[in-house]
Structure 1
Amino acid sequence: MSRPVREPATTPAPGEALSRRALMLAIGALLLGMLLAALDQTIVSTALPTIVSELGGMEHLSWVVTAYLLASTAATPLWGKLGDQYGRKKLFQTAIVIFLAGSALCGVAQDMPQLIAYRALQGLGGGGLMVLSMAIVGDLVSPRDRGRYQGLFGAVFGATSVLGPLLGGLFTDHLSWRWVFYINLPVGIIALFVIAAVLHLPVRGTRHTIDYLGTFLIASVATCLVLVASLGGSTWPWASAQVIGLAVLGAVLLAAFVLVERRAAEPVLPLKLFGNRTFTLVSAISFVIGFAMFGAMTYLPTFLQVVQGVSPTLSGVHLLPMVVGILLTSTASGQIVSRTGRWKVFPVAGTALTTVGLLLLHLMEQDSGVWEVSAYFFVFGAGLGLVMQVLILVAQNSVAYEDLGVATSGVTFFRSIGAAFGVAVFGTLFTNRLTGELAAALAGQEVPPDADAQAIAADPRAIGLLPPGLRAAALTAYSTSITDVFLYASPVVVLAFAVSLFLKEDRLRASVTAPDPSETYASNPVERSSYDECARALSVLGSREGRKAVYEKITARAGLDLAPAASWLLLRIRRHGTVEPARLAETTPVPLRTVIEASRQVEERGMARREGLDLMLTDRGVEAATLLARAREESLAELLGDWWGPDRPTDLIQLVEELTAELNGSVRERPGQ
């Protein structure tokens, strides 16, 4: 188990060690790091058809995406725990270097196997960028203020979802597909130097018993699963010894993983979670959503560019309705659920709408109009978005506090594995269908030797070598092969719809809020402790309430007849011992007039007295300030529901005390984790 290391007395609280300018520079560098990792999940999609045309190997297209997904998913828990144990700054710099090395190598790749291997290296670094950037924010910023900074990271994810496909198309059209990877280098180098210069983290450490074997085994199981899906029926027959051997190996490794996890001190995926019915159902739905989302996103640009003749840049533009649909409905559903407590309708409606979206995508043809295709894309994206935010909310709501972190990471883990599996399955279905359709279309026809069915399947540019009469037939073969994949995928999402009907709508805890976009807008798994996840949720609630509303609430709870500003002033005096009202107005956003009125009220009530220009508390004021502090602590505890039980953990108690102390103006250190 994790054993907190006692911090030195001089350890600063989050944010204290840095000046405002240094803090913003550090946050900016972290945003750049996350931008790199988030962008690389979307920027490649519109460049893939060109990459395949130049390097050859359409049957390997899916692995350009899958290699990145598998590597980042497997590395995520290790980055998180190693960062806790050995210091996040050094690990973050290491992740940047690995990511940049992978990017540079991807840019110089000469064939598809090289590119796939280098994408895996990139994924190893990308997993660290995702996990550690958010973790470092927790070291720099107090829990009360995290909600504000999470908005910045959310904006990055929203921007990469929109800009990624566009930038991929622009680089491919006007420079080269290699610039999709080269662009990471200057951005990453800037982030690396800024982090080295300005990031000075508090000295902390948490010893972990890292589950290396469990991580290796689950990554191996996922790899076997994806290899069977991508190679079976294409490279090797389904009944071949190779495919059967991979399936058996995957089963053996899965059994070994179960045995290892039962004995692991800190399992990468605690098996007890699967005793929770809601978590198990949510994980299954999350797997399917990842499957549908990334499978479709990988092959839609191929349809647009090859079948409809759209440029890489315009294919990115055409994908925007899908991205907008995801962003709109994911944000709206998360906010509605957080405020109303009702959630079951969203996974049910979302999986149903996603199924409809896949069936609509199946209807696309070579001459489908822009508005028609855009409408289909939007429906598909809207369906995905309805489910993505809510699944994490439901999982968090179903577990005890000590399992909050692993439940969140578990759901996002299954979505990432589903994404890798989906890309592989879509690729296998597409490749098998394409070869057969092209062979049928060109059968008995005279075609150039370098434009036969195999050549066209490997390089779409070979279609241009065909006579005009056969060109349309080849394009129809491509169109049918891609759109049929969406039809074949729809029963899988129907299964997720059926599973969602069995979800039990338990009452939502007040402290369970919409997850930040890093958990939903991308395929990245999340690695966060229960403390961090709870601090994030409470900070979101605190920022939503607003400072004035908070003081109104705690004043009423304390049974005091005071203006909110008077309560705020009492707690400020309690912190500093004495305050000068005029000086306080200069150093806080509270107007001078409000401070003067608050000062007059506490003096008239006998809660403070003057000593020159300063105010200090009387005995009555000390009693009132104590009541206010206690009221805030109780109101926070109330939000936690049954997590705040008789056996509540120490770190949860410390979190509530820390947030209370921040509101009261005092500073407390965050406990080591």
Structure 2
Amino acid sequence: MATTNTPTGVRGGHAKHGGSPAAEPGTPMTHRQIMEALSGLLLGMFVAILSSTVVTNALPEIISDLGGGQSAYTWVVTASLLAMTATTPLWGKLADLFSKKLLVQIALTLYVVASAAAGLSQSSGTLIVFRVIQGIGVGGLTALAQIIMAAMIAPRERGRYSGYLGATFAVATVGGPLIGGVITDTSWLGWRWCFYVGVPFAVIALIVLQKTLKLPVVKRKVKIDWTGAFLISAAVSLLLLWVTFAGDKYDWISWQTYAMLAGTVVLSALFLLTESRASEPIIPLRLFRNRTITLASLASLFVGIAMFAGTVFFSQYFQLARDKSPTMSGVMTIPMIGGLFLSSTVSGLIITKTGRWKAWLVSGGVLVTAGLGLLGTIRYDTEYWHIAVFMAIMGLGIGMMMQNLVLCTQNQVSPQDLGAASSVVTFFRSLGGAIGVSALGAVLGHRVTSYVKDGLAALGPDAAAAGHAGTGGGGIPDLDTLPGPMRTVVEAAYGHGVADVFLYSAPAALLAFLITLFIKEVALKTRAGGEAEESLENTPFVPVEQVVPIGGGGVVEAPVAAEAVGTDTGTGTGVPGSSGIPVHGVVRGTEGGAVPRAAITLISPAGRQLGRAVAGDDGGYEVDVPESGSYVLIASADGFQPQAATVAVGAEPLAYDILLVGTSGLTGSVRSEEGDMPVEGAMVIVTDVRGDVLATGKSTERGEFTFGELLPGSVTVAVNASGFRPLALPVEIGAQGVTHVEAVLRSGALVQGTVRAGAARRPLPDARVTLIDAAGNVVATATTGDDGVYGFADLDAGEYTVIATGYPPVAGALTVAGHGIDGHDVELMHPGD
């Protein structure tokens, strides 16, 4: 006997005209589809990061060729970083409102146009303007790469692919100076090709994304918070201007500092006020009610300081402290590239298998702090292999932290907030990098000048008269023009100064490490953001119906039924959901015992999944709701009926115990009373106390039947088979386990025939036929149809009397045995006929 089994909660596709089932919307992308789309995305990410680092080794020649000064030197780097940082939240919000594919193509186009224009610049001012536009495009690529990955790939699988993104970031970040150095050292190329080199990659990325990237677009009315975008951009810009010029144009403690910091605070306050009232805020402030997002953002801020410090200043160390060419400067940073590549790839693969990520964050924080601390001890004559080991340690740590901070944030939010949450973390990382580069660059200039003066003073009065040897005001000295002893002093000053930068960065890495300790680990989801948005966006919450398999091959649809009991006590010891207002309690069975390892799902009234948890061994669970309101809790466990209940959450934590009703099975066999033989094809029907049918099926060739997933309690099992009398048995199904029942059927004989009347003996309609047993009891009555046929079924063997009326009554005796009598006709007539 064939059986049909549909898993609980899965909607089957509907075939049309006998065709194959239609594909479900929101079907997850295959690995091949993901890799095809990811290839264009990684190219775009490579272009974005490359543009930020490729000019590092070419800047002295660029500024000299365009006739710029020290301020122009600073702003060629800062302008792009500033634009990227300030626009990251805007790109993230736009990704929540518009097509992500269109936005990433716009960002790539901006980058291509600005890069080509920057390469054609004839003045430093023009170059800075185009670097701003280039930074806007880079900000979009940086934010959208993470967002699109989240829309394509489930968090549980995303670690595997985040490793590729981390590796691309590593190659572009540290490989940029290497490529820039090679271009600068190649006479027939020149520095302008530092801007042109990324254009072909961007064009290829555009083509690949157009062909391979297919994401659902949710059509809805949008309203851009332009005021919020302006205020956050202005606040960040003013802060970076202060960090850039403090210690150079004016003292750190000066009226300019007070004015800029006050302006930053005012703009930030106005931004917070605007965001709290905006219908579509750039950065939804409610996201920061989630502890994970808040902590991850802070950690990203400090990781950005440490990360950019470790990449920007290496080129100056190798060129000015160790007298290496721009090309060799890039080559010598390969250990850090290798460490970052290895850790980001390996950690991504392991996270995909285990779903656990916090250990990697914590370990990464330790390694970054240790690496920067060790780098703080280097000098201009330190053995290179020592530096290589220190760089590798730092690279390993950055690879473990950088992508996983975004990953743990994306795992905490609903699909509609995916872009904003991702960009918030990226924004703080970029902000940390911008602040770190500006502040630490100023520190480096000051420390180098101080060390040079001290070194020259130690050489004697003649050397001391040289002052700062061209390092004053943050200027870059030409080592080839300096005499031997003075050159050694400058190299030692840069070696010591860059080491100080690393040492000052180590506390930032330590703070990032301490913050990660307080991030609550939540197992990664198995649905992608785009898939969840597609399947849940417009799907109302409806009760689930189960299809219960039966031994005889039939199916029965049974509504899921259970109940939940609100309590005033309870502790949550299960795996928690997203941070917010806790809902906690204990999952119990009908007998009061705890139900361990029950799965708890938190659903919004609109049908969106907000969080999940697994009850502990004591049945305790905890999930966090983002804000007060009504939510739906769904609980399920093996051996129990799933349960859905609405909970109303206020400002305080809610204690709510969940009661699960166990599921039970019913098995049995159908046999005949005579000969104790199995009865095949018997119809078995299970009804509850109200008479509602719970399950139906037929017995197998061995007379057996099976029902699963039945509610415990009193039921009636009715059995009916051809040639046997029907049987109804009361059965009590236990709370758990399988209940067995034996149905023994007695043979049922048949008596039927035709009532005829008159001389022509025609069939007589509407004749009444009564069957009376040997004790004189009326067993059954029947009324003939137009064909005069009557019949009695399910009779016991024995003596009976058949009385027919309609004409003068006629009575006749008969003996029933075996299967009965077929053809017991009765003739009626009037006297004299």
Whether the 8 Å contact between 2:173 and 2:311 is mirrored in structure 1 is no
Please say if 1:445 is aligned against 2:459: no
- 1:496-517 CA distance string (max 9 Å, x none): 334344x0544x234179xxxx
Aligned with residue 476 of structure 2, among 451, 459, 468: 459
SS in structure 2 of the partner of residue 645 of structure 1: strand
Please say if 1:207 is aligned against 2:221: yes
Structure having greater relative contact order (Cα 8 Å, sep ≥ 6)? 1
Higher strand residue share: 2
Cα distance in 2, alignment partners of residues 511 and 24 from structure 1:
20
SS in structure 1 of the partner of residue 313 of structure 2: helix
- Number of the residue aligned with 1:429: 443
Whether the 8 Å contact between 1:76 and 1:128 is mirrored in structure 2 is yes
Please say if 1:511 is aligned against 2:522: no
Gaps of 5+ in 2: 1-22, 537-545, 558-576, 579-597, 611-833
| Distance of aligned partners of 1:14 and 1:58 in 2 relative to their CA distance in 1, 3 Å threshold | farther
Whether the 8 Å contact between 1:358 and 1:490 is mirrored in structure 2 is yes
- Number of the residue aligned with 1:229: 243
What is the CA distance between 1:427 and its match in structure 2? 0.8
What is the CA distance between 1:356 and its match in structure 2? 1.9
Please say if 1:68 is aligned against 2:80: yes
What is the CA distance between 1:330 and its match in structure 2? 3.2
Cα distance in 1, alignment partners of residues 505 and 381 from structure 2:
23
Cα distance in 1, alignment partners of residues 126 and 454 from structure 2:
33
Q: What amino acid maps onto 2:304 in structure 1?
A: G
- Number of the residue aligned with 2:397: 383
Cα distance in 2, alignment partners of residues 281 and 429 from structure 1:
28
Of 395-404 and 300-309, more deviation after overlay is shown by 395-404
- Number of the residue aligned with 1:531: 529
- Number of the residue aligned with 2:659: none
Cα distance in 2, alignment partners of residues 381 and 23 from structure 1:
27
Whether the 8 Å contact between 1:171 and 1:180 is mirrored in structure 2 is yes
User: Where in structure 2 are the equivalents of 1:119-268 lying within 5 Å?
Assistant: 119-131=131-143, 156-157=168-169, 159-161=171-173, 163-174=175-186, 175-191=189-205, 205-268=219-282
Aligned residues: 537
Cα distance in 2, alignment partners of residues 148 and 291 from structure 1:
26
| Distance of aligned partners of 1:306 and 1:405 in 2 relative to their CA distance in 1, 3 Å threshold | same
Higher helix residue share: 1
- 1:198-243 CA distance string (max 9 Å, x none): 9898886333222221122122222222222221122211232222
Of 213-222 and 253-262, more deviation after overlay is shown by 213-222
Cα distance in 1, alignment partners of residues 40 and 115 from structure 2:
18
Q: Please identify the structure whose Cα radius of gyration is greater.
A: 2
Return the TM-score normalized by structure 1.
0.67
- Number of the residue aligned with 2:130: 118
- Number of the residue aligned with 1:44: 55
What is the CA distance between 1:38 and its match in structure 2? 3.3
Return the TM-score normalized by structure 2.
0.55
Please say if 1:33 is aligned against 2:25: no
What is the CA distance between 1:255 and its match in structure 2? 0.8
SS in structure 1 of the partner of residue 498 of structure 2: helix
Whether the 8 Å contact between 2:322 and 2:380 is mirrored in structure 1 is yes
Aligned with residue 276 of structure 1, among 272, 279, 290: 290
| Distance of aligned partners of 1:477 and 1:395 in 2 relative to their CA distance in 1, 3 Å threshold | same
Of 328-337 and 222-231, more deviation after overlay is shown by 328-337
| Distance of aligned partners of 1:145 and 1:340 in 2 relative to their CA distance in 1, 3 Å threshold | closer
Whether the 8 Å contact between 2:171 and 2:337 is mirrored in structure 1 is no
Cα distance in 2, alignment partners of residues 533 and 291 from structure 1:
35
SS in structure 2 of the partner of residue 40 of structure 1: helix
SS in structure 1 of the partner of residue 604 of structure 2: coil
| Distance of aligned partners of 1:150 and 1:15 in 2 relative to their CA distance in 1, 3 Å threshold | farther
Q: What amino acid maps onto 1:127 in structure 2?
A: G
- Number of the residue aligned with 2:604: 647
User: Where in structure 2 are the equivalents of 1:456-605 lying within 5 Å?
Assistant: 457-460=474-477, 462-501=478-517, 503=518, 505-506=520-521, 508-511=522-525, 531-532=529-530
- 1:567-621 CA distance string (max 9 Å, x none): xxxxxxxxxxxxxxxxxxxxxxxxxxxxxxxxxxxxxx999xxxxxxxxxxx88x
SS in structure 2 of the partner of residue 445 of structure 1: helix
Cα distance in 1, alignment partners of residues 406 and 51 from structure 2:
23
Cα distance in 1, alignment partners of residues 96 and 418 from structure 2:
18
Cα distance in 2, alignment partners of residues 202 and 41 from structure 1:
31
Q: What amino acid maps onto 2:500 in structure 1?
A: D
SS in structure 1 of the partner of residue 52 of structure 2: coil
User: Where in structure 2 are the equivalents of 1:407-418 lying within 5 Å?
Assistant: 407-418=421-432
| Distance of aligned partners of 1:178 and 1:243 in 2 relative to their CA distance in 1, 3 Å threshold | same
What is the CA distance between 1:396 and its match in structure 2? 4.4
What is the CA distance between 1:325 and its match in structure 2? 1.6
Cα distance in 2, alignment partners of residues 141 and 278 from structure 1:
20
| Distance of aligned partners of 1:535 and 1:375 in 2 relative to their CA distance in 1, 3 Å threshold | farther
Whether the 8 Å contact between 2:374 and 2:390 is mirrored in structure 1 is yes
What is the CA distance between 1:320 and its match in structure 2? 1.5
Alignment RMSD (CA, Å): 4.7
What is the CA distance between 1:418 and its match in structure 2? 0.9
